[in-house]
Amino acid sequence: MSGVNALWQAILVLVGGGAVGFLYKGLDRKLAARLQGRIGPPLRQPVLDVIKLLLKENVVPRTAIPWLFRAAPFLAFVAATTALLYLPVGSLRPVLSGYGDLVLLLYLLAVPALAMAMGGFASGSPYAVVGAQREIVMMMSYEFPLAIAAVGIAWRLASLGLSPAFSLATIAANPLWGAVGPLGWMGLLFLFVSLLAVTPAELSKIPFDIPEAETEIAGGLLVEYSGVSLALFYLADVIKTVVIAALVVALFIPYGIAAPLGVAGVGGQVLDLLFFLVKLFGVIFFAVTVVRVAFARLKVDQVARFYLLPTTLLALAGLLLLVLDKVVMGG
């Protein structure tokens, strides 16, 4: 029965995560339009876009490597949906808790971007090849501060005697803000800001949408994709939006609201779930929507410098402050 329960939980998480991703993607487009003085598309527009793509012909270019061109979007979709099963939802433990940890999740987060780059290289289009090259350069830039933030949190938990320190269930159940001193609090703030800076690049949103850049390289690494293949990339992006926002919540703001309000049982779980969805929306709005409205697209060298210098240095400063906090606190 435990296997059956896990299967049902996985289905609920995947369906719910997809629905939330579509809702937040619609809200993102609507709110971005409002911030720019436009009306914007209806909230259901992302769903309509996917339905339209699923009804279109799936064209494979003559210059492409067919098997790799077709496999790339499927790989991106599978990696994104698998990552969703490793994240705590509200007060509920991850579906695959005990079968992987934070390190595996970081690998899974990198797979959709790698799959898009592979698809771009496999398409044979010069526009797609340029986009794939930009995607790889961008990944090499933002993965380092992302890893520093994740490892810093896990290391500080381990130093407090909490294990398994790299388990997302452990991290979400033991917020560090109340367990560290002033230096550690400042270090966590630095890591939090650096992870928020990485979020739009993980999702390839403006100003970090240089791998696609429709006005420069005609869609970049997705220029040759259509039909079901493009729909799979779209779905992977929808789910990855929820994954990266849920990761930020799990690492830095995993607090529930039911316990402080004295609500227990199923009602408390529902209340924590609703609060979790509000936190997801807050992360997406401030780290993605506001940023892409406020800034224009950057050049690839500007993106590399931004992540390899100020963002990485900020993350390293946060890690150093956590180390100093351990020395001062003595634990």
pLDDT in tens, 90-105: 777 888 877 778 888 9
Q: Tokens 């029965």, residue?
A: 1
Averaged over 309-320, what is the pLDDT? 93
Q: Residue 47 — very low, low, confident or very high, per pLDDT cuts 50/70/90?
A: very high
Q: Which of helix, strand or coil describes residue 92?
A: strand
Q: Residue 286 — very low, low, confident or very high, per pLDDT cuts 50/70/90?
A: very high
| CA atoms of 321 and 316, how far apart (whole Å) | 9
Q: What is the pLDDT of residue 5?
A: 72
Q: Is the pLDDT of residue 259 over 60?
A: yes
Averaged over 213-234, what is the pLDDT? 82
Q: Which domain holds residue 320?
A: 2-329
Q: Residue 1 — very low, low, confident or very high, per pLDDT cuts 50/70/90?
A: very low
Domain count, the chain: 1
In the chain, which residue ranges form alpha helices assigned H by DSSP?
A: 2-35, 45-55, 66-84, 102-123, 126-159, 168-173, 182-202, 214-217, 227-252, 258-261, 265-284, 290-294, 300-306, 312-329
| CA atoms of 91 and 274, how far apart (whole Å) | 10
Q: Over the stretch 111-152, which tens digit does the pLDDT of each residue have?
A: 999 999 999 889 888 888 888 888 888 888 888 999 999 999
Q: What is the pLDDT of residue 3?
A: 65
**Hey, what's the torsion of the CAs at 252, 33, 311, 163, to 10 degrees?**
20
Q: Is the pLDDT of residue 241 over 70?
A: yes
Residue of 280, 307, 234 whose CA lies nearest to 80? 234
Q: Over the stretch 160-187, which tens digit does the pLDDT of each residue have?
A: 888 788 888 888 888 888 888 889 899 9
